[in-house]
């Protein structure tokens, strides 16, 4: 009798832990007022500077980070070169947009386990925090505070390379170049369609939703087209055939990569919450039904134990 009670108690405790683990949330700040980099004991910030920053530009970046040159001795610092930017971006962006100087800079700090990705920006006028969140989740980033700044207004597209490079240094794990390519492809497609439709946040949410739907599967072209059609309805956006084709090719690429789909789904949930906080009406009933299905199975399992 005692053994049965103990076993059931442990199962209930485990179930509670599982439920709490599914309710992880994160917030990605918009606009970029809170760009201060925190240096805490035992928690080293990892910073990637644009390699072509002039002295006055680097001083501005440090000011935005809230750091001094002396503080950098307590940080892990590397640089991103213009050659690296071209290596990953040439396939998606014209040379005019990439430019000849690497300027955007990124700081990555370890966040509490289960807190997700938090992004803040300053002087970034094209890439939104949602775009960074989505792409960073695809690249395997999790539980990190990320700050992206420029010495003056810039697109920030190349900053993703610096963020992944800094995160890789923090974890000691190399990120596959194909995964980085997929993340950049995602960010560019999301940005272009968001710009064309005028619904940047909805498109970012839709892409996150699509990744949630196709993750770990091998959908056919027609199934991908159906998924995109359903997603566009849920997020209330109208897409051209060219935009649908872009999304289809992106999803086919992501399906073929070895990605952490659980991490991607968690970040998708975080983004849904952010969109709702912004007052955007998003139909995420499919996700809700999935969660309800999980809890229904969990409750049925627990009840079965008490009937033994």
Question: What pLDDT, in 10s, does the model give residues 164-205?
Answer: 999 999 999 899 999 999 999 999 999 999 999 999 999 999
Question: What band does 272 get if pLDDT is binned at 50, 70 and 90?
Answer: low
> Is residue 186 included in any domain, yes or no?
yes
- Name the residue range of residue 139's domain: 24-292
pLDDT at 269: 76
Overall number of domains in the chain:
1
Cα dihedral: 139, 159, 29, 45 (round 10) = 80
Q: Is the alpha carbon torsion for 37, 44, 185, 209 positive or negative?
A: negative
pLDDT at 154: 93
Instruction: Give the count of alpha carbons within 13 A of 257, CB side only.
Output: 25
Say if residue 80's pLDDT is above 90. Answer: yes
> What Rg do the C-alpha atoms of the chain give, in angstroms?
21
> Is residue 156 included in any domain, yes or no?
yes
Kindly state the average pLDDT of the residues 139-146: 93
> Is residue 286 included in any domain, yes or no?
yes
Say if residue 44's pLDDT is above 80. Answer: yes
Output 286 or 166, whichever has higher pLDDT.
166
Kindly state the average pLDDT of the residues 208-235: 93
Question: What band does 219 get if pLDDT is binned at 50, 70 and 90?
Answer: very high
> Is residue 298 included in any domain, yes or no?
no
Say if residue 285's pLDDT is above 60. Answer: no
> Is residue 300 included in any domain, yes or no?
no
Q: How far apart are CA 180 and CA 84, in angstroms?
A: 12
* Residue located via tokens 């995109």: 228
Question: What band does 278 get if pLDDT is binned at 50, 70 and 90?
Answer: low
Q: How far apart are CA 240 and CA 238, in angstroms?
A: 7
Q: How far apart are CA 149 and CA 120, in angstroms?
A: 8
> Is residue 305 included in any domain, yes or no?
no
Average pLDDT score, the chain: 81
Say if residue 224's pLDDT is above 60. Answer: yes
pTM: 0.74
pLDDT at 225: 96
> Is residue 169 included in any domain, yes or no?
yes
Kindly state the average pLDDT of the residues 30-38: 65
For 88-100, how does the pLDDT look when each residue is reduced to its tens digit (9 = 90+)?
999 998 888 888 9
> Is residue 9 included in any domain, yes or no?
no
Question: What band does 23 get if pLDDT is binned at 50, 70 and 90?
Answer: very low
Say if residue 33's pLDDT is above 90. Answer: no
Kindly state the average pLDDT of the residues 204-229: 93
């Amino acid at each position: 009798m005692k053994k049965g009670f103990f076993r059931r108690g442990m199962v209930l405790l485990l179930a509670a832990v599982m439920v709490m683990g599914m309710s992880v949330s994160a917030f990605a700040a918009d606009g970029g007022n809170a760009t201060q980099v925190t240096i805490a004991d035992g928690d080293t910030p990892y910073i990637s500077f644009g390699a072509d920053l002039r002295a006055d530009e680097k001083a501005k970046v440090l000011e935005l980070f809230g750091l001094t040159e002396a503080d950098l001795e307590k940080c892990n610092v590397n640089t991103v070169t213009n050659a690296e930017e071209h290596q990953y971006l040439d396939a998606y962006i014209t040379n005019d947009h990439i430019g000849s100087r690497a300027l955007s800079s990124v700081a990555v700090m370890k966040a509490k386990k289960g807190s997700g990705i938090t992004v803040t920006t300053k002087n970034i006028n094209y890439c939104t925090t949602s775009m960074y969140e989505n792409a960073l989740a695809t690249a395997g980033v999790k539980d990190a505070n990320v700050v992206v700044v420029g010495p003056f207004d810039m697109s920030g597209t190349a900053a993703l390379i610096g963020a992944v490079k800094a995160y890789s240094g923090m974890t000691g794990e190399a990120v596959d170049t194909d995964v980085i390519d997929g993340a950049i492809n995602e960010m560019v497609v999301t940005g272009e369609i968001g710009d064309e439709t005028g619904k940047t946040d909805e498109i970012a949410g839709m892409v996150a939703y699509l990744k949630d739907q196709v993750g770990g599967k091998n959908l056919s072209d027609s199934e991908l087209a159906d998924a995109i059609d359903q997603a566009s309805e849920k997020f209330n956006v109208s897409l051209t055939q060219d935009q649908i084709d872009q999304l289809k090719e992106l999803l086919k690429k992501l399906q073929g990569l070895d990605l952490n789909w659980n991490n991607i789904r968690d970040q998708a949930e975080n983004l849904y919450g952010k969109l709702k906080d912004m007052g955007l009406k998003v139909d995420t009933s499919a996700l809700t039904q999935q969660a309800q299905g999980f809890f229904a199975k969990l409750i049925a399992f627990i009840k079965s134990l008490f009937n033994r």
